[in-house]
Amino acid sequence: MSAVNAIPPAEAPVASSVTLADIRAAAERIRGAVLRTPMIESPAVSRAAGTRVFLKLDNLQATGAFKERGAANRLALLTPREREAGVIAMSAGNHAQAVARHAQLAGVKATIVMPRFTPATKVVRTESWGARVVLHGETLAEAAAHAHDLALREGFVFIHPYDDAAVIAGQGTMALEMLEDAPEVQALVIPVGGGGLCAGIATVAASLRPGMPVYGVEVQGYPAMAQRLAGEPVSVGGPTIAEGIAVRDVGELPLGILRRCHSEILLVPERAVEQAVALLAEGAKVVAEGAGAAGLAAVLTYPERFRNRVVGTTVCGGNIDARALSNVLLRQLLRDGRILRLHFDIPDRPGVLADIAKRISDLGGNVIEVKHQQLFGAPTVQSTELHLMIEVRDAAQGDAIIAAMEAADYVVRRG
């Protein structure tokens, strides 16, 4: 999901609302161009959540995210004149690649405006789908304004990422698949950025499963949809791993749909999103970006809401940077107590380091990093600072190692 901070509303939406018939028509229109992704129950995720959880794996789309559904439907509805003119979109992420791919499949020229700060890998991926990439502006708002200027000047059709009925209808096709493949689902939990995906899914649920709750999910730093639904001024900001839903200006059309469907928005902390990314990777063997894991984060954060309910959520994107994923997994190992960081003040004499290593080994710990400061860090010249990172099975094994160190009269602190 692409992070969007200020995209003007669509100038000419295909319609003023979205119906189940629109979404069914979209499903037929995009059949074959978009993957029908699996809806699976993950035993590991269900155990961690304390209830049955089904995962809709839209991270398996060709571009790694659900955005293809809306882009494919919107492009399929272009008139001959619009096809000849070409399309333009603004995005620093998944919407860019979705529009580029489906424009290429449709034989339509595509221009994508990206902010200058966009990582080179995202630029290259978008260009690989045949789009012309224009780097403009220091912010997403500046890039969006430039995209609209180009659309007016060169006659391009602007493909809005979420405030467009055809895009929403395309995103809503996910719900048709979810409810068909897992009819036992009793609640849906859907990440919310601009709101297009959640609006499409809520439309389907309201028609096919009246009364079934559809919860939207935002991170605590970007509660724009929750604030708009509550009639409050929008106040957002700050770094987040869920940058794909870090949105200030939600879509007016999605806002109206979610209001009519009485959808509740759940807010989740950063730590819960990281926990969900790690759980999906370790437990379900599924790679998710932060925004793509936000639905599961809500299930983990609000267990009382979902206890004894069968829950469906979507892994709606898997485009996470490898270094970010690595950091998330390591941070979760530390939180779970499966990596132990210990700091020692030890006597500066031969054999002490070997003795500590042996005691750890005897208890099944695996030393994976050693820092030994003899010259400048220790409080006296007769002592040494020792920092160890140890891999353990669980927190209980880590506690046993610390107890053994203290029993041997070592001064030890957790890091």
In a domain, 113, yes or no: yes
* Residue 374 and residue 259 share a domain: no
pLDDT band at 383; cut points 50, 70, 90:
confident
* Residues 156-177, mean pLDDT to the nearest whole number: 97
* Residue 277 and residue 181 share a domain: yes
* Residues 127-132, mean pLDDT to the nearest whole number: 95
Q: Output the CA angle 152-156-161, nearest 5 degrees.
A: 100
* Residues 8-25, mean pLDDT to the nearest whole number: 71
- Is 10's pLDDT higher than 70? no
Residue ending a domain, choose from 290, 305, 330:
330
Residue ending a domain, choose from 330, 357, 384:
330
* Residue 39 and residue 178 share a domain: yes
* Residues 221-248, mean pLDDT to the nearest whole number: 95
* Residue 251 and residue 194 share a domain: yes
Give backbone dihedrals phi and psi of 247, rounded to 5 degrees, phi first: -120, 135
In a domain, 15, yes or no: no
* Residues 223-230, mean pLDDT to the nearest whole number: 98
- Average pLDDT over the chain, rounded to an integer: 92
Which contiguous run of DSSP H or E holds residue 227?
Answer: helix 224-229
Asked if 195 and 222 touch (Cβ cutoff 8 Å), the reply is no
Asked if 82 and 156 touch (Cβ cutoff 8 Å), the reply is no
Better-predicted residue by pLDDT, 259 or 13: 259
In a domain, 13, yes or no: no
Q: Using CA atoms, how far apart are residues 347 and 332, in angstroms rounded to an integer?
A: 33
Domain count, the chain: 3
Better-predicted residue by pLDDT, 40 or 380: 40
Q: Residue 260: what pLDDT?
A: 95
pTM reported for the whole predicted model: 0.90
Asked if 313 and 59 touch (Cβ cutoff 8 Å), the reply is no
In a domain, 11, yes or no: no
Asked if 344 and 385 touch (Cβ cutoff 8 Å), the reply is yes
Domain of 34: which CATH number? 3.40.50.1100
Residue ending a domain, choose from 330, 346, 379:
330
* Residue 147 and residue 172 share a domain: no
Q: Residue 375: what pLDDT?
A: 54
Q: Which domain holds residue 370?
A: 337-414
Domain of 407: which CATH number? 3.30.70.260
In a domain, 1, yes or no: no
* Residue 154 and residue 181 share a domain: no
Q: Using CA atoms, how far apart are residues 366 and 197, in angstroms rounded to an integer?
A: 45
* Residue 181 and residue 49 share a domain: yes
Q: Residue 13: what pLDDT?
A: 42
| Tens of pLDDT, residues 251-299 | 999 999 999 999 999 999 999 999 999 999 999 999 999 999 999 999 9
- Is 3's pLDDT higher than 60? no
pLDDT band at 145; cut points 50, 70, 90:
very high
* Residue 325 and residue 243 share a domain: yes
Closest CA to 188 of 205, 172, 163: 205
* Residue 386 and residue 305 share a domain: no
Q: Residue 11: what pLDDT?
A: 42
pLDDT band at 93; cut points 50, 70, 90:
confident
Give backbone dihedrals phi and psi of 67, rounded to 5 degrees, phi first: -55, -20
* Residue 74 and residue 62 share a domain: no
- Is 8's pLDDT higher than 70? no
pLDDT band at 14; cut points 50, 70, 90:
very low
* Residue 189 and residue 103 share a domain: no
In a domain, 5, yes or no: no
Instruction: Provide, rounded to the nearest whole percent, the portion of the chain with pLDDT above 90.
Output: 83
In a domain, 187, yes or no: yes
Q: Strand 132-135's sheet: what is its strand order?
A: 132-135, 110-114, 87-90, 157-158
Q: Residue 118: what pLDDT?
A: 84
pLDDT band at 1; cut points 50, 70, 90:
very low
pLDDT band at 382; cut points 50, 70, 90:
low
In a domain, 10, yes or no: no
Better-predicted residue by pLDDT, 94 or 381: 94
* Residue 112 and residue 58 share a domain: no
Amino acid at 242: A
